[in-house]
A = this chain, B = another copy of it.
Amino acid sequence: MTTTAARRDRQRQQLVEAAERAIAEKGLAGLKARELAGEIGCALGALYNLVRDMDELVLRVGSRTLARLDVTLDRASQAAFSAAPQDAAGRLVAVALAYCAFARENPRLWRTLFEHRMAEGSEVPEWAVAEQMQLFRHIMAPLADLLPQAGDQQRFLLGRTLFSAVHGVVAIGLEEKLVAVPRQELDRQIEALVRLVCAGLAAEPRLIR
């Protein structure tokens, strides 16, 4: 690698880290190109030699958030598996609770994963799509144990439904909306929701046909 390329890589890394700090402190709306350029000591225009646009920068921050979330979910899932290898529902509960804990500890970075929208006419690049889809394995693997007879398409849809449902309880709960589950009850309600769905699957598997 030439010295110039190495320097640009280092600066890009600094830029992404500065953007991550800004989002963690002030949320997505607090991300200002001019301030970031000042922080890493480059001209405003030179920023766009490091990333194509602000969308790419936000996606690179999201990539770091997802990687940390992935580690958290993996750890929770493995701990649950070690404790009770046969209890696929318990694994789903552990993943859902770890998701809630991550959101609670990283509220602005987590919210940015959902708030960010690409500029008009731009599509999310393939690498970012692949990273997001990657995390679904934490849901899909226990679902495969719970529903060995189901088709891929049914499991895929149920996995997304379950994710969205838990996400809804977490998102409304952490924002402490009037209609929310109170914060101190969140973990118990998330566990109840996941366990009820799993008990429903066991009692009436025809419901997802």
Contacts and interface: CB of A to CB of B under 8 A. Distances in A.
Nearest to A169: B164
A190 B197 CA distance: 12
A181 B199 contact: no
A42 interface: no
Indicate the size class of the contact surface on chain A.
35 or more
B163 A165 contact: no
A125 B180 CA distance: 17
A124 B175 CA distance: 14
Given A197-B197, A199-B203, A203-B203, A157 B185 contact: yes
- Copies assembled: 2
B164 A181 contact: yes
Given A161-B181, A163-B179, 20 more contacts: A114-B172, A114-B177, A124-B178, A129-B178, A133-B178, A133-B179, A136-B179, A157-B188, A160-B181, A164-B169, A165-B193, A167-B168, A195-B204, A195-B207, A197-B200, A199-B200, A199-B207, A200-B200, A200-B203, A203-B204
B179 A173 contact: no
Contacts of A132: 178-179
The majority secondary structure among interface residues of chain A is helix
A164 B180 contact: yes
Contact of A157 (B158, B189, B198): B189
A171 interface: yes
A79 interface: no
Contacts of A195: 200, 204, 207
A6 B157 CA distance: 55
26 contacts: A114-B177, A132-B178, A132-B179, A157-B181, A157-B189, A158-B189, A160-B179, A160-B180, A161-B169, A161-B193, A164-B169, A164-B179, A164-B181, A165-B165, A165-B168, A165-B169, A166-B168, A167-B172, A168-B168, A168-B169, A195-B204, A196-B197, A196-B200, A198-B200, A199-B200, A202-B203
